[in-house]
Amino acid sequence: MSKINYKLFFKFFIFFPLIFYFGKRSYLAYDEGFYALQARWILEKGNWTIPLWWGDFNLDRTIGLQFLIAKSQEIFGENLFAAYLPTTISSIVMLIITYKLHEELIGRKFAIASPLILSTTFLWFDYSHLATQDLIYSCLVTIGVFFIVKTNSKKEIVYIFIFGTWIGLAFMMKTFLVAIPITSLLPYLIKKKYIFTSKYFWLGLIVGFTPFFLWTTSINTFLDKNIIFYLLEKFNNLSKENNFTNPFYYYLWNIPVTFLPWSIFSVIGLFHVFRNKNSQVSILFYFPIILIILISTFSTKTPYYPLQISSILSLNAFIGIKYLIEAKRFKSIFIFISSRIIPFFVLSVIFIFLFLFKTTLNFNTKENTFLICGLVLFALTWSFIKKSQSTSTLISILIIGPYLMTSCFLQSGLFTDRSREIRETMEYVSSLKTINNRVIKVDKSSIINTASHSKIIRIALLTPNLGEGIENIKNLKSSELAWSILPKEDKEKDTNYEIIYENEIISPWKLIKKI
């Protein structure tokens, strides 16, 4: 028993450097800063029903993630670690489910490889350290895939019940987009149509949708029409041409880039599964392919939409690696590329970075050190790959390289302290004696474009005592403070305002005081 516990402890501990970071953090503006700010207003105003945005109703999304962040901060304190906790927990669960999917679809041997591959892909690693709904939603989709795989008869009521439950919970995160993974699973669901005749599936569906039903019942009392119409309006806007509209072939290049360094292995695995008519071809091949086709037809295309199939792509990456190692006609070229070409390419990237981009990219010493160390360790590890090594040794070395690189990347702060310069500036602003924990309001009329909006979101999150949004600075009373753009011409015309603080980092915003 102690031996089993030791193995379980080791399997958890190995992911620790990829999941946890205890250094200083800061938010991106979109979308995590957006959700974090809404969660802050939930706690400050005690309004757990209506998503707010600078005092107005924001009705284009549910309150699911904001509720989770606020509840986490209510329990564990209003700090950034608590804000990221829902994503962190979902990351851990998704890795566990990926491990179990490997056991179900491929076998128990090397089952730890697939979650390790997943945790070192750029896409998953990036979003597992963002306080957004995307990783949580993708975790729910992966849970749904796992439990439909586990369901082999109508008698397995627990699996059927959970498969029904995830749909409603995922709807609370991404609303109508949940239809995409369900449609992609149809080839598999057709074979298991007995699920839909089970009362436990429908019971699970009701339980899963309960949070959404309770929320809609609560929020509708404040609205002129049902919240579902506002959500449909947002979905219709996303399905039309907008700023995130991309060509049909967008994911043909985006997925290989965001799934680095395992992209080519995943593609090989997909073809291998299809060619050999694997017994789980519906899940390993048709599910991700149909999903990619569906999201490609949708007007809005973003890098994180494929996150929901990242576990399946990781399984395919393992299959591709194993195939290349065991295929005599491909093994030599595979070993040569992995042990020579890729390390040379990575070292070239380091050289180019040091001599051409180091001065232009505003990385500090810590960021530069961990970034370079990670790339060097990756190149060095893969250079030890040899043809004579066993399958298990080759798989281990292939995974260790990206594992060390990704661990260094996390500890650099590049994926956690994403607005470092603004954070450092705001730490100084908060220390000013003239501030002295006073309330600072926000001039909403200064939010004139996306850039100014992005900047004020990050500034507001780092403002210790954030006040209300005001229509313009004329609404300020004597001695009150506010964040405002306050153009130079306005300052010259009106001397009733004093600039307390300004610099290039937070520009065009200035901290002003009404005299």
Q: pLDDT tens-digit profile of 194-233?
A: 899 899 999 999 999 999 999 999 999 998 899 999 999 8
The letter for the amino acid at 121 is: T
CB 65 within 8 A of CB 133: yes
Which residues are CB-neighbours of 296 under 8 A, at least 6 positions away? 248, 249, 250, 251
Which range (235-239, 311-315, 372-376) has the least confidence? 235-239
What pTM was estimated for this model as a whole? Answer: 0.92
Note if the bond before 31 is cis, omega within 30 degrees. yes
For residue 442, give the 3-state DSSP assignment: strand
> Following DSSP, what letter does each residue of 182-246 receive, concatenated?
HHHTHHHHHHTGGGGG-HHHHHHHHHHHHHHHHHHHHHGGGSSS-HHHHHHHHHHHHHSS-TTB-
As beta bridge partners, residue 497 has 514
Q: Enter the tokens of residue 342.
A: 């890729």
Residue whose pair of structure tokens reads 């300020």 in the numeric block:
476
CA diameter of the chain? 80
Gap between the Cα atoms of 149 and 366, Å rounded: 44
Q: Which pLDDT band, with edges at 50, 70 and 90, does 387 fall under?
A: confident
Q: H or E segment at 467?
A: strand 466-470
Return the pLDDT at 494: 60
Q: What is the pLDDT of residues 403-462, one digit of tens each?
A: 999 999 999 998 999 999 999 999 999 888 888 889 999 999 999 898 999 999 999 999
pLDDT of residue 89: 95
Residue 16: both structure tokens together: 């620790």
SS3 513: strand
Tell me which of 67-76, 253-262, 468-477 is least confident.
Answer: 468-477
Cβ-contact 375, 350 below 8 angstroms: yes
Query: Using an 8 Å Cβ cutoff, are 259 and 313 in contact?
Result: yes
Query: Per-residue confidence at 1, pLDDT binned at 50, 70, 90?
Result: very low
Task: Please write the tens of the pLDDT for every residue from 81-111.
Answer: 999 999 999 999 999 999 999 999 999 889 9
Q: Which stretch, 146-150, 153-157, 242-246, has highest mean pLDDT?
A: 146-150
